[in-house]
A and B are shown apart, each in its own frame.
Chain A
Amino acid sequence: MPPRLELRNITKSYPGIIANDDISMSIMPGEIHAVLGENGAGKSTLMKIIYGAAQADAGEIFCDGKPIAAHTPATSRALGIEMVYQHFALFESVTVVENIALAVSSTFDLDALARQITELSNRYGMPIDPHRRVHDLSVGERQRVEIVRCLLQAPKLLILDEPTSVLTPQAVVKLFETLRQLAAEGCSIVYISHKLDEVQELCDSATVLRNGKVTGTARPKESTSAQLARLMVGAELPEMHVSPSVPSDKPVLEVRGLTAPARDKYGVELKNISFEVRGGEIVGLAGVSGNGQAELISLLSGERTHGNALSIQIDGKAAAHLNASERRKLGMAFVPEERLGRGAVPPHALWQNAVLTAHRSGLVRNGLVDRKQASNFAAKIIERFKVKANGPQSSAQSLSGGNLQKFIVGREIALEPKLFLVAQPTWGVDVGAAAFIRQTLVDLSRSGAAVLVISEELDELFEICDRLLVICQGQVSPPLIRTKTNREEIGLLMTRVDRGNGTNGRGEVAIQD
C-alpha cells in the first residue's frame, strides 16, 4: 500500500531564512503522525506546503502514490486534505454556517447544512450555534468551527495545528476519541502540538523539526517526554522554579459584586463576581472560552468601564469607572489575548509598539516621541526577554508568535506594574517561549506584584498559579488552592450545569476559607 502522503526532500526558503531544509516524511492511511517543533522550526511552512497554500522550492509531494502537480489549496481539498489552521481561516463578518458553506462543495442549502453542523458538533461534544456570527465567538469557539468544518468533509488527511489548547480536559478526551475513530476509518492525521503528553497519548509516530530540519523521528508511545523535548529544543528544557508565595496583607485587585450585562446578544452576562488578588501571588482564571472571560477582561482592563466605581478596586482605590489609561496610572499592566491588533500594531516597528504603553516611562518628551529613548527601551526588552528579532526596527508582524508575545509581556513588565493582567499568555507560543513566559510571570509575582492569569490551558494554570478561579456562564467560583485541587475537579466546575440555586452547591470542593 502506498503512503497516504509522502514528502521527498522538501526545501523552501524565504528571504534570509531557510524555512524547510530537505524534509522527507511519510504517513500511512489511518496513521496519526505528530509533527513536533518549536515556533520557527518550520512546522507551519511545511503544513502550508502540504496543503498547497505555499509552494516548495524543491522536492516532491505524493498523495496515495501519485505526485501532486500544480498544488493549490483547491487541489488539496479535492484530494481530501483538510487543515485546521492555528490562526483561524474564518471570516468574521458572516455566520458559522456561512463560513462552513464556503468550504464545502455541496449545494448551497444553509438550513440543511446548519442541521448537519448542529448534529455533528453535538456528536463530538463541541456544540456550536451555526447561526452566530464568527465575530462574536471566542477563540476556543472558533476552533470548534474549524474542526467541525473539516470533519464535515470526511477528509482522507486531516492536518490539525495545536487543536487542544482551548479545550477542557473532558473535551480533549472526546476529541481524541473522534480522531482515533477517524483514523480507524482510514483517515490519516497530521497532529501539530507542543504538548508532549498529548502526542504520546494519541500519535503513532512523530517527526521532530528544529530550525527547518528533521532532527529525528520517534514512536511517541515508546519515548519519554524528556527524549522528545530534547529532540525538539536541542537542549534540556529549563525547569520551572516556583517558590512559595508570600501574599500581601491587602489585595491589590479587589472585585466586589461585579455584575454587568452582556456586550451583545451573544455575549455573556456577568453575575455578582467577587474575588481578589494579593501582591505576591498568581491567581488563575480557568474556564472554557465564551463563558464571560471576554466581558470580564474588558471590564478589568478598562476597555469597558462600569458605573459602580467600587466594584473594581486597584490598590485600594475605586477603579471600575476609570478608563484603561487611568487604570494604568494606578499601576496596572495588561497583556490581551490577541497579540496582533490589540497587543501590538502589526506593521509598526517594535520601538513604536513600545511607545504604545510605555509612553510614561520617559519615551515622550514635550509631547514628542523620543525615538532614541524608545529604541533603547525596546532594545532592552529584546535583550532581557530574549526576543528573537532584528532589533527595535523590526515590525511586530515579522516576529513569530512566541517572540512577539515575549516582547509584549516584556514591555508590560518593564513598566514595573503592581497589578498584572494577562490573557492566554502562551496561546500559540512554542514550548521554549512558553516556559520562559511562565517563569517570567512567576518571578514577577514573587517580586511582589499581583498577577491574574486568564487562560484556557489548565496545564499552564496548574504549573504557575497559587489559587484558581473557574468562570462558567458568567459566574466565578470561590477560589481553590492549587495544591488542594485537581484537574478533574476544575474540569467539572468548567462545565457545571447551573442547578438553579446559585453556584455554591458543591460539597466536596477544596474551597479556600
Chain B
Amino acid sequence: MDLFIAIFTGTIIAATPLIFAALGELVVEKSGVLNLGIEGMMLMGAAFAFWAVIAGLPMPVAILAGALGGAAASLLFGVLALTFLTNQYAAGLALAIFGSGVSAFLGRNFGSAPIDALKKIYIPYLSDIPVIGPMLFRFDPMVYFAIVMFFVISWFLYRTKGGLVLRTIGESPETAHAIGYPVIRIRYLAVLFGGLMAGLAGAYLSVAYTPLWVENMTAGKGWISLALVVFATWRPLRVLLGAWLFGGMTILQLQGQALGIAVPSELLSALPYLATIIVLVIISQNRQMLALHFPASLAKPFRPAT
C-alpha cells in the first residue's frame, strides 16, 4: 500500500510542471499563436526562481519571480511573432535556445547545493485520513494551484466571453478584427499568460521538485508539454490526463529501475515519452473532434488590414 501511495503522489507531483506549461501553451495556441519556446521559458522560470531563493527572498516571491522570468521570455517571442510578424516556428525555436543559454549563464554561480524545498502542507484533519490523507492532502501548494488553474482555464475558455473571443481569434483573426476585437493585444495577453505558466512550471522544478540547480534541468519537459497540447486535441481535460499519464510513467520507470528490472535504464527513461505519445496519438484519431478543437489560424501571422 505504501508503494502504491508513493507512486500515486509521485505521479501527481511529476505531472505538476507539465500541467502548468501545457495549460499555458493551450491558451496561447487557442489564440492562434504557436510558441515552441516552452523549454526556454521554463528554464528562465527555473533560473529566476532559484536565484530568488538563494538571494534570500521568501518562497512565494521566488515563485512569482520564476513566473515573471517566463513571462519576460515570452514577451520577447511576442514582439518578434506578433509585432514583427516573424515566422512563429522560427521565433519559438529561437526562444527555446535563447532561454536555455540565458538560464545557463544566470545559473553559473548558483552552485550545486540543494535548497530548502517548497514546504508541503498537511491539510488539517483531511491529511490524517488513512490512505486518502497521504494520497491527496499532503502536497505543496503549487500542486493544488495547478489543479485550480485547470478549472480556471476550462471555465474561462468555455464559459466566459473572454474565452469565446480567444477561441474565435484562434479560428479567424480576420473575422474577429472585422467585428472589432483587438486581435494583436489579445494574442499578446495569451502569449504572456503562456509565459507566466511556463515560468511557474520551471519554478516548480527548481524550488520544489528537485530542488537544486542543474543546467538544462527541464530535460525536455517543455517539448513534452507542447506535444501534450497537440495530442490532447486542444482540450484542457485531456491535457490534464495526459500530464498525469506522463507523470505516472516517469514514476513507474523510476520504481522499475529501483527494483532492478533487467532493462537498460536508458530505455526505461524513454518509456514515459513513448507511452504518452502512443496513448495520445490513439485518442487523437477522431478527425471530426480534431477539426472542431483545432485553432484554424495556428501559427499564421496576422496583420490587421489597413
A263 to chain B, nearest CB (A): 10
Interface residue total, chain B, C-beta cutoff 8 A: 21
B179 at the interface (CB under 8 A from A): yes
Query: Quick check: A102 and B178 within 8 Å, CB to CB?
Result: no
Query: Quick check: B172 and A91 within 8 Å, CB to CB?
Result: yes
* Alpha-carbon separation in the docked complex, A54 to B177 (Å): 11
Stretch from A93-101, A319-327, A503-511 at the B interface: A93-101
Stretch from B13-21, B46-54, B158-166 at the A interface: B158-166
* Alpha-carbon separation in the docked complex, A55 to B304 (Å): 11
Query: Quick check: A54 and B180 within 8 Å, CB to CB?
Result: no
Q: Which residue of chain A has its CB nearest to the CB of B168? A: A91
B98 to chain A, nearest CB (A): 31
Q: Which residues of B contact A94 (CB under 8 A)?
A: 164, 167-168, 171
Interface string of B272-306 (1 = CB under 8 A from A): 00000000000000001000110010000000011
Stretch from A72-80, A443-451, A456-464 at the B interface: A72-80
Query: Quick check: B177 and A73 within 8 Å, CB to CB?
Result: yes
Interface string of A91-127 (1 = CB under 8 A from B): 1111000100111000010000000000000000000
Query: Quick check: A90 and B306 within 8 Å, CB to CB?
Result: no
* Alpha-carbon separation in the docked complex, A101 to B296 (Å): 20
What DSSP secondary structure best describes chain B's contact surface?
A: helix
Q: Which residues of A contact B160 (CB under 8 A)?
A: 108
B210 at the interface (CB under 8 A from A): no
Q: Which residues of A contact B164 (CB under 8 A)?
A: 94, 98, 101-102
Interface string of B169-204 (1 = CB under 8 A from A): 001100111111100000000000000000000000
A176 at the interface (CB under 8 A from B): no
Query: Quick check: B305 and A53 within 8 Å, CB to CB?
Result: yes
Q: Which residue of chain B has its CB nearest to the CB of A108? A: B161
Query: Quick check: B168 and A74 within 8 Å, CB to CB?
Result: no
B118 to chain A, nearest CB (A): 37
Q: Which residues of B contact A154 (CB under 8 A)?
A: none
Query: Quick check: B292 and A89 within 8 Å, CB to CB?
Result: no
B252 to chain A, nearest CB (A): 37
A53-B305, A89-B178, A89-B179 in contact; A102/B165 too (CB < 8 A)? yes
A344 to chain B, nearest CB (A): 19
* Alpha-carbon separation in the docked complex, A89 to B175 (Å): 5
Query: Quick check: B296 and A93 within 8 Å, CB to CB?
Result: yes
Q: Which residues of B contact A73 (CB under 8 A)?
A: 177-180
Query: Quick check: B305 and A102 within 8 Å, CB to CB?
Result: no
Query: Quick check: A85 and B178 within 8 Å, CB to CB?
Result: yes
Query: Quick check: B171 and A92 within 8 Å, CB to CB?
Result: yes
* Alpha-carbon separation in the docked complex, A102 to B177 (Å): 11
B286 to chain A, nearest CB (A): 13
* Alpha-carbon separation in the docked complex, A427 to B198 (Å): 48
Q: Which residues of B contact A90 (CB under 8 A)?
A: 175
Q: Which residue of chain A has its CB nearest to the CB of B174? A: A89
Q: Which residues of A contact B293 (CB under 8 A)?
A: 93
A77-B180, A101-B161 in contact; A91/B171 too (CB < 8 A)? yes
Q: Which residues of A contact B167 (CB under 8 A)?
A: 93-94
* Alpha-carbon separation in the docked complex, A192 to B296 (Å): 30
Among A54, A76, A77, A103, the residue within 8 A (CB) of B306 is A54
* Alpha-carbon separation in the docked complex, A54 to B134 (Å): 61
Q: Which residues of A contact B180 (CB under 8 A)?
A: 72-74, 76-77
Q: Number of A-B pairs whose CB atoms are under 8 Å?
A: 56
Q: Which residues of B contact A76 (CB under 8 A)?
A: 180
Interface residue total, chain A, C-beta cutoff 8 A: 24
Q: Which residues of B contact A48 (CB under 8 A)?
A: 305
Among A53, A93, A103, the residue within 8 A (CB) of B171 is A93
A184 to chain B, nearest CB (A): 28
A399 to chain B, nearest CB (A): 18
Q: Which residues of B contact A101 (CB under 8 A)?
A: 161, 164
* Alpha-carbon separation in the docked complex, A502 to B164 (Å): 43
Query: Quick check: B306 and A91 within 8 Å, CB to CB?
Result: no
Q: Which residues of A contact B165 (CB under 8 A)?
A: 102
Among B176, B292, B306, the residue within 8 A (CB) of A93 is B292
Q: Which residue of chain B has its CB nearest to the CB of A93? A: B171
A102 to chain B, nearest CB (A): 6
Query: Quick check: A55 and B306 within 8 Å, CB to CB?
Result: yes
Query: Quick check: A102 and B306 within 8 Å, CB to CB?
Result: no
Which residues of B135-166 have CB atoms within 8 Å of chain A's CB atoms?
A: 160-161, 164-165
* Alpha-carbon separation in the docked complex, A90 to B171 (Å): 10
A137 to chain B, nearest CB (A): 15
* Alpha-carbon separation in the docked complex, A54 to B304 (Å): 9
* Alpha-carbon separation in the docked complex, A101 to B159 (Å): 12
* Alpha-carbon separation in the docked complex, A61 to B177 (Å): 21
* Alpha-carbon separation in the docked complex, A90 to B176 (Å): 9
Interface string of A77-88 (1 = CB under 8 A from B): 100000001000
* Alpha-carbon separation in the docked complex, A103 to B164 (Å): 11
Query: Quick check: B172 and A53 within 8 Å, CB to CB?
Result: no
Q: Which residue of chain B has its CB nearest to the CB of A75? A: B180
A161 to chain B, nearest CB (A): 13
* Alpha-carbon separation in the docked complex, A492 to B181 (Å): 42
* Alpha-carbon separation in the docked complex, A133 to B289 (Å): 13
Interface string of B207-244 (1 = CB under 8 A from A): 00000000000000000000000000000000000000
Q: Which residues of B contact A89 (CB under 8 A)?
A: 175, 178-179
A295 to chain B, nearest CB (A): 16
* Alpha-carbon separation in the docked complex, A55 to B306 (Å): 6
Q: Which residue of chain B has its CB nearest to the CB of A14? A: B306
* Alpha-carbon separation in the docked complex, A264 to B287 (Å): 14
* Alpha-carbon separation in the docked complex, A102 to B178 (Å): 11
* Alpha-carbon separation in the docked complex, A108 to B165 (Å): 12
Q: Which residues of B contact A85 (CB under 8 A)?
A: 178
Among A55, A74, A91, A133, the residue within 8 A (CB) of B175 is A91
Q: Which residues of A contact B305 (CB under 8 A)?
A: 48, 53-54
Q: Which residues of B contact A92 (CB under 8 A)?
A: 171-172, 296
* Alpha-carbon separation in the docked complex, A102 to B183 (Å): 13
Q: Which residue of chain B has its CB nearest to the CB of A85? A: B178
* Alpha-carbon separation in the docked complex, A77 to B179 (Å): 9
Q: Which residues of B contact A135 (CB under 8 A)?
A: 292
A46 to chain B, nearest CB (A): 14
Lowest 5 A-B CB distances belong to which pairs? Answer: A74-B180, A73-B180, A108-B161, A91-B168, A89-B175
A-B pairs with beta carbons under 8 Å apart, 30 shown: A48-B305, A54-B305, A54-B306, A72-B180, A73-B177, A73-B178, A73-B179, A73-B180, A74-B180, A89-B175, A89-B178, A91-B172, A91-B175, A92-B171, A92-B172, A92-B296, A93-B171, A93-B296, A94-B164, A94-B167, A94-B168, A101-B161, A101-B164, A102-B164, A102-B165, A102-B168, A102-B179, A102-B181, A108-B160, A108-B161
Query: What is the interface of chain A, defined by CB distance below 8 A to chain B?
Result: 48, 53-55, 72-74, 76-77, 85, 89-94, 98, 101-103, 108, 133, 135, 264
Given contacts A53-B178, A91-B172, 20 further A-B contacts (CB under 8 A): A55-B306, A72-B180, A74-B180, A76-B180, A77-B179, A89-B179, A91-B168, A91-B175, A92-B171, A93-B168, A93-B296, A101-B161, A102-B164, A102-B165, A102-B168, A102-B176, A102-B179, A102-B181, A135-B292, A264-B288
Query: What is the interface of chain B, defined by CB distance below 8 A to chain A?
Result: 160-161, 164-165, 167-168, 171-172, 175-181, 288, 292-293, 296, 305-306
